[in-house]
Amino acid sequence: MRLVHIGSVLVDIGLSVQRPPARGEDMLATSATMAVAGGYNILSAALRQGMPAAYGGKIGSGQFGAMAAETLAAEGIELLLAPTQDGDTGFCVVMVDATGERTMVTTMGVEAYMTPEDLASITLRDDDFVYLSGYDLAYPHGPAVAGWLRRTITDHELVFDPGPLVADIPPDLLSSALERATWISLNEREATLLTGDPDPASVLARGRRLHGAVVRRGADGCLLVTAAGIEHIPAFPTDVIDTTGAGDAHVGAFAAALARGESPARACLFGNATASVDVATWGPATAPPLEVTERLVSSS
């Protein structure tokens, strides 16, 4: 079973700042890094937790595209689309403040412009576990991705993370993902935006195929929401340095644990363990290998 990400890999330009600048203000960063991120956060987390991973998105032909292609190849992530000559991969400016919280501004590249033909060329295996981010419904290729979901996702497991732009996703496109999702993973703010209701149980009413939802709560772990009720899955104590990609790492580890045959509650525990290591490290795509999370989970 592979985790297949239909969406976008890009490059993060990470800036360490005391706080995000106010409007019109200038500021000096104390450090800066550049690394491949976006969908790579999810794919690398799953792969390091023992699940093969494949990328069903575009990679550009410029310097950022070259970085993305090299990084994915080094990690052992399969490419389902050939690199394109249409332009470069996009980038995201990520400001991380003294508390570890991140503020982002994204510039879209070729990864935001998949065509129906691109998507039609992706061949899924019967046992693939598909991941979709809400970003890819808010991007220009959102209608193409929604159409692909309606045509393609019938028996596959689909984990959907609506993401921080959930309120900006056109309702018909959002419905295409919700109707085909078997799992939803999102944070508390996003859950309320999605349903208009602070009760996490209301997420289940948004999808007809849902096995359950994972509502991530940062330092308070997460909630596993199923037809049987709501279960609190505790977090692992850690020192927060950078929250960039923590939710992505949680989703990747959760999917990998399900693929190994873990129960949903244990899969959430592996997600929490992975996220705890991720936030204690600077930069994106810092999920640990399976042996690290196994030690954490076994000690809980």
* Residue 170 pLDDT: 96
- Estimate to the nearest angstrom the gap between the alpha carbon of 150 and the chain centroid: 21
What the block records as the tokens of 17 is 């700042």
In the prediction, which pLDDT does 300 show?
Answer: 81
The two three-digit tokens of residue 183, written as one number = 């799992």
How far, in whole angstroms, is CA 247 from its chain's centroid? 6
Q: What is the pLDDT of residue 8?
A: 94
Q: Is 294 exposed, middle or buried (0-12, 13-18, 19+ CB in 10 A)?
A: middle
- The per-residue pLDDT of the chain, averaged, comes to 95
The span from the CA of 221 to the CA of 146, in Å, is 31
Q: Is the pLDDT of residue 113 over 90?
A: yes
CATH superfamily of this structure's domain 3-9+37-89+110-298 = Ribokinase (3.40.1190.20)
Q: Give the pLDDT confidence of 267-283 residue by residue, as tens digits.
A: 999 999 999 999 999 98
* pLDDT tens by residue, 181-198: 999 999 999 999 999 999
pLDDT for 189: 95
What pLDDT, in 10s, does the model give residues 255-269? 999 999 999 999 999
pLDDT of residue 93: 95
pLDDT in tens, 217-268: 999 999 999 999 999 999 999 999 999 889 999 999 999 999 999 999 999 9
Percent of the chain surpassing pLDDT 70: 100
Residue 110: pLDDT over 90 = yes
At 120, is the secondary structure helix, strand, or coil?
A: helix
Q: Note the pLDDT of residue 171.
A: 96
